Amino acid sequence: HRLKNRNSLVTNWPIVGMLPALVSNSDRIFDFLTDMATSHGGTFKFKGPWFPSLDFVVTSHPLNVNHILCRNHGNYEKGPEFREIFEPFGEGIVTSDSHVWKSQRKVLQSLTKNNKKYAMYLDRIFWKKLEKSLIPVLEHVMKLGVEVDLENLLQRFDYDHICLLALGIDPNTLSVEFPNVPSKVAFDEVEEVLLYRNLVPKMVWKIQRWLQIGEEKKLSKGLKIVDDFVYGCISSRREKLRSETTMEDDDQFDLLTAFMVEEEGSEMSAFGKSDKFLRDTAYSFVTAGKDTINIGLTWFFWLIATHPSVGNKILEEIKANSPTSNDGNLVSFSVEELNKFVYLHATLCETLRLYPPVPVNNKSSIESDVLPSGDRVGRNTRILLSVYSMGRSEEIWGEDYLEFKPERWISELGNIVQKPSYVFVPFGAGPRVCLGKDMSFKQMKTVVINVLRNYQVELVENQTVALSSKAIALHTEHGLKVRIKKRCV
């Protein structure tokens, strides 16, 4: 075995396979995947125990990623194993495949891209949350002079916003009291257990589920709370729409309402509208959107605080493109106006390169295939596209790949350098690319501009800001402690 494994960073042991290496690296899992992929030319085959199988392929090779996400995407799906682990998602878009995914995608795409009512509602609720929750809470902690966990604050902002967007209800988790709202706590707990299911052999979590012990007991409890919350929103929305002959609150156009009010025969009503369908769609949407923007922003604020010259350039850009008098009012920009913030856009891309909120994109092959790297994958093989490793690849980004350098995104003419979609994939690529991409950029920019115009965000000294090992998304381990001070202009 020593001889066989002499060129590999991990040993493939009899019976247990490479599991010991995975377990001993579980606190640095994304770096472990990066080490594995890099030392094997970008693609690595992980051998799990003999039984039950835990084999997977991890790749960060751009041509393989392009092949899987775009060129031969028909052969790669989320797969039955992924759906089994993420069974709380039901038939929602995030876990579904084939015709179920196609019809959901068509409907959600037409809603998010072409529906004016939805776009207006989206802007309105985002603005309301910014003006009435985020800024007042920042103002409050500034006046008290206390430290605050910026990640926690931004998470609450995202959760309230995505619930308003999908379910039409504001759980109000972002307020000066920082309340522990049961639905949010439960959503987070469910996610933790799903990560656990990813890391242990199927047999283990299935036995725990059958006996209702350990993590699986936590999952059942959490899911009950989440389901009560989501089904509650569905029935109160139905009730409200039934009791109104004309839609009183015509501005309310959340996801649920959109499904309930669309004319028969339109794409949105084509599904039928069972409560279970609405629950699965809304659940997927909330989960896809609740912990992405805030992760991007958390790492952004950390990176600019640790690279003050970058922060100063962003401030100059904000000053150059904003109304001259800063009277403390918030400023809103159209997408076209936001395009002028080239350095800010570059800094956000650089942040997402090094800290992609979704660090690993899961796929599964349908038929066996040969990847462009020459690696063969069998039928029904689990494949992890390591987006995190791609962002830290010397081959893709050059020898300064570990440096935080927004300039790499700006051309000599001062425009954004468009990277091929398969080397920069924090939002995925191809037919399954993220449906919230444009909205995310718009919201991240608007939050940054309004926060930085009015406040200095200072890191609390002597804290360790590290990647979390307990989440599917790229959270920090202990949060991001900051102090907020008024910006003097």
* Contacts (Cβ under 8 Å, ≥6 apart) of 442: 335, 338
Rg over CA atoms, the chain = 23
Q: Residues 442, 444, 447, 449: what is their CA dihedral angle, to the nearest 10 degrees?
A: -80
Considering the rule CB under 6 A, would residue 79 count as an interface residue with ligand HEM?
Answer: no
Residue 93 or residue 193: which is nearer to ligand HEM going by CB?
93
* Contacts (Cβ under 8 Å, ≥6 apart) of 146: 483
Smallest distance, ligand HEM to C-beta of residue 125, A: 12
Residue 84 or residue 244: which is nearer to ligand HEM going by CB?
84
Cα separation, 363 vs 202, in Å, equals 17
Smallest distance, ligand HEM to C-beta of residue 385, A: 8
Considering the rule CB under 6 A, would residue 358 count as an interface residue with ligand HEM?
Answer: yes
Number of C-beta neighbours around residue 83 at 10 A: 18
In the stretch 276-305, what mask flags binding to ligand HEM with x, by CB under 6 A? Answer: ---------x--xx--xx--x---------
* Contacts (Cβ under 8 Å, ≥6 apart) of 57: 43, 44, 45, 46, 375, 377, 381, 382, 383, 384
Backbone angles phi, psi at 393, to 5 degrees: -105, 125
Smallest distance, ligand HEM to C-beta of residue 382, A: 14
Choices 208-216, 394-402, 424-432, 449-457 (CB under 6 A): range interacting with ligand HEM: 424-432
The answer to whether the beta carbons of residues 470 and 215 sit under 8 Å apart is: no
Which token pair is 444? 């991240």
Residue 94 or residue 303: which is nearer to ligand HEM going by CB?
94
Smallest distance, ligand HEM to C-beta of residue 281, A: 9
Considering the rule CB under 6 A, would residue 435 count as an interface residue with ligand HEM?
Answer: yes
* Contacts (Cβ under 8 Å, ≥6 apart) of 212: 220
Residue 434 is assigned to a ligand binding site: yes
Unique residue bearing structure tokens 């639905």: 183
Residue 19 or residue 385: which is nearer to ligand HEM going by CB?
385
Q: How far apart, in Å, are the Cα atoms of 211 and each of 197, 203, 204, 215?
A: 15, 12, 11, 11
Q: How far apart, in Å, are the Cα atoms of 121 and each of 124, 256, 467?
A: 5, 13, 34
Smallest distance, ligand HEM to C-beta of residue 302, A: 15
Q: Treating both helix axes as pointing N-terminal to C-terminal, what angle do 275-290 and 214-243 enclose, rounded to 10 degrees?
A: 120
Report the residue from 30, 299, 302, 427 that binds ligand HEM according to the rule CB under 6 A: 427
Which token pair is 365? 């092959």
Smallest distance, ligand HEM to C-beta of residue 93, A: 5
Report the residue from 93, 186, 255, 377 that binds ligand HEM according to the rule CB under 6 A: 93
Under DSSP, is residue 174 helix (H, G, I), strand (E, B) or coil?
A: coil
Considering the rule CB under 6 A, would residue 163 count as an interface residue with ligand HEM?
Answer: no
Report the residue from 17, 391, 436, 479 that binds ligand HEM according to the rule CB under 6 A: 436
Report the residue from 79, 171, 357, 406 that binds ligand HEM according to the rule CB under 6 A: 357
Smallest distance, ligand HEM to C-beta of residue 296, A: 4
Smallest distance, ligand HEM to C-beta of residue 322, A: 24
Considering the rule CB under 6 A, would residue 126 count as an interface residue with ligand HEM?
Answer: no
Burial 58-80 (b: 16+ CB within 10 A, else e): bbbbbebbbbbbbebbebbbbbe
Size of the site for ligand HEM (CB under 6 A): 22
Residue 17 or residue 296: which is nearer to ligand HEM going by CB?
296
Binding site members for heme: 434
Residues that bind ligand HEM (CB under 6 A): 93-94, 105, 108, 285, 288-289, 292-293, 296, 357-358, 361, 426-428, 432, 434-436, 439-440
Binding site members: 434
